[in-house]
């Protein structure tokens, strides 16, 4: 009974699945109705299966036909491929024969066209960078197209092409010996463009408004050099542009700009001083102090010497000079003995000596300290250089340039300050000694007169 109940449930579940288009299966009233429903569902299912089998069979025939068509097309393509391969081999043989025939008929012309192709390629690169192209444009384009045409397509050059190559080469040689003037757009300082007169000196340099120009072949533009050479060179450029005829001096760069490019990269005096760093500034500072002190001492001693010379011509002692103040001691002690007067005069001379030799010792100290400061900068720069070598090696000299520049520049600055300071100290010390000797000489004369009077 239990088995019969399970079979009944399964039959009811199958009946509910097989009935299409219904959301809720109708529950049969009895077993006969259930059996009838199952038979009707089985009949409908068999009909659907037969229809599907017929459709599959029809499609299978269609696929077989497509396979036959594809195989036929493949066979046709294989035949065509064999025919084209045979034709390709025949064409290769014909091409080799024709190439051999062409080479035999060309003879020496083949070598000529090879040289022509090489000359056109070399000339294209030469014309592209030549400053003559700033005035005469388009020459490198023709040469480049001719070289590519003869190289890639093996097309022979015409008589017109050969003549044009010869003409462009001859024109380049002719223009190298000319000083030409033409108007062009020039990129000036600040990035603005201005229409200016440009003077071309052969195939070497371009100048405008007293400044050297740079030709950029990539953009076919002219621009002023960011940094111009020193004034003695730019002065010749200005003179050349302002002179319409005759012979003038001009600073010519025979390399077409290479030497000029290196020349403008060289640091000027101000930049070299900056390379000295802090030590360099200190050396210059003490040098300025020494110079100011030397100037003050020079004029003071010159005025003092003039007053002393004037005092030598006058018997009346004055207070505006050291000799006059020493001579007044004689008048202040008219009755003392000559040995006492000698002591009083020595005291007066010693009192005047600091005024005469004031700050000379400081000048001497600076003349000694300046080279030592230069040596300090040299040692500091070499330390920086060795640190750069330790970190980055010796592959790039630019990494060591800063330390080496500081080392050399500070040494130079120290010597530049020390050498003239030594001369200034020697000159001023000599003047001061001459003044003191004059005072001592006059003091000795006063003592001699008092001694003779006492005797």
What pLDDT is stored for residue 368 in this prediction?
92
Give pLDDT, residue 443. 87
Q: Helices (H), strands (E): how many in the chain?
A: 13, 5
Tokens of 323: 């000799």
**Token pair in block for residue 328:** 């007044």
**Per-residue tens of pLDDT for the chain, all 455 residues:** 443 444 444 444 444 444 334 444 445 456 777 777 777 777 777 778 788 877 777 777 777 888 888 988 999 999 999 999 999 999 999 988 887 877 776 666 667 777 888 888 888 888 888 888 888 888 888 888 888 877 665 667 788 888 888 888 888 888 888 888 888 888 887 778 888 888 888 888 888 888 888 888 888 888 888 888 878 888 888 888 888 887 888 888 887 777 777 777 766 777 777 777 888 899 999 999 999 999 999 999 999 888 888 888 887 888 888 888 888 888 788 777 778 888 888 888 888 898 888 989 999 999 999 999 988 888 888 887 777 777 777 666 766 666 677 778 888 999 999 999 999 999 999 999 999 998 888 888 888 887 877 65
Give the residue extent of every domain in the chain.
27-105, 107-176, 182-266, 275-454
Burial category of 404 from C-beta neighbours within 10 Å (exposed 0-12, middle 13-18, buried 19 and up): middle
* pLDDT at residue number 426: 94
Give the closest residue to 430 by CA, choosing from 366, 356, 346, 348. Answer: 356
pLDDT of residue 154: 60
| DSSP one-letter code for 27 | P
pLDDT given at position 273: 78
pLDDT for 153: 58
How far is residue 363's CA from residue 416's CA, in Å, rounded to a whole number? 14
Nearest to 134 by CA among 66, 209, 202, 81: 202
Phi and psi at residue 396, in whole multiples of 5°? -115, 110
* Residue 233 near residue 240, CB atoms below 8 Å: no
How much is the pTM? 0.55
Are residues 205 and 212 in contact, defined by beta-carbon separation less than 8 angstroms? yes
């Amino acid at each position: 009974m239990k088995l019969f109940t399970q079979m009944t449930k399964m039959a009811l579940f199958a009946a509910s699945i097989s009935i299409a288009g219904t959301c809720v299966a109708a529950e049969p009233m009895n077993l006969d109705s259930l059996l009838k429903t199952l038979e009707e569902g089985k009949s409908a299912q068999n009909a659907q299966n037969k229809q599907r089998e017929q459709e599959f069979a029809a499609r299978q025939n269609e696929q077989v036909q497509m396979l036959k068509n594809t195989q036929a097309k493949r066979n046709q393509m294989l035949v065509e491929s064999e025919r084209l391969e045979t034709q390709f081999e025949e064409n290769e043989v014909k091409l080799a024969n024709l190439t051999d025939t062409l080479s035999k008929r060309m003879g020496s012309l083949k070598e000529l066209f090879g040289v022509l192709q090489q000359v056109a390629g070399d000339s294209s690169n030469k014309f592209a960078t030549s400053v003559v192209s700033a005035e005469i444009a388009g020459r490198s384009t023709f040469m480049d197209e001719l070289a590519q045409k003869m190289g890639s397509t093996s097309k022979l050059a015409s008589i017109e092409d050969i003549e044009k190559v010869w003409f462009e080469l001859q024109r380049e040689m002719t223009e190298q010996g000319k000083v030409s003037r033409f108007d062009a757009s020039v990129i000036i300082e600040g990035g603005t463009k201005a229409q200016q007169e440009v003077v071309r000196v052969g195939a070497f340099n371009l100048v405008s408004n007293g400044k050297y120009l740079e030709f950029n072949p990539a953009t076919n533009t002219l621009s002023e050099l960011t940094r111009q050479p020193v004034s003695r060179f730019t002065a010749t450029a200005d003179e050349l542009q302002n002179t319409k005829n005759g012979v003038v001096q001009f600073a010519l760069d025979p390399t077409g700009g290479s030497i000029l490019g290196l020349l403008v990269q060289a640091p000027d005096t101000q930049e070299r001083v900056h390379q000295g760093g802090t030590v360099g500034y200190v050396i210059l500072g003490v040098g300025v102090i020494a110079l100011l002190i030397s100037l003050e001492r020079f004029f003071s001693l010159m005025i003092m010497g003039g007053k002393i010379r004037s005092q030598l011509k006058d018997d009346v002692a004055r207070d505006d000079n050291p000799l006059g103040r020493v001579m007044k001691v004689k008048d202040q002690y008219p009755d003392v003995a000559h040995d006492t007067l000698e002591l009083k005069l020595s005291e007066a001379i010693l009192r005047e000596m600091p005024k005469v030799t004031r700050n000379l010792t400081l000048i001497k100290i600076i003349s000694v300290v300046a080279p030592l400061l230069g040596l300090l900068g040299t040692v500091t720069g070499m330390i920086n250089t060795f640190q750069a070598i330790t970190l980055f090696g010796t592959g790039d000299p630019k990494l060591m340039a800063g330390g080496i520049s500081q080392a050399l520049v500070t040494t130079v600055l120290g010597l530049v300050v020390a050498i003239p300071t030594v001369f200034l100290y020697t000159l001023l010390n000599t003047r001061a000694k001459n003044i003191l000797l004059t005072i001592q000489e006059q003091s000795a004369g006063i003592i001699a007169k008092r001694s003779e009077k006492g005797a």
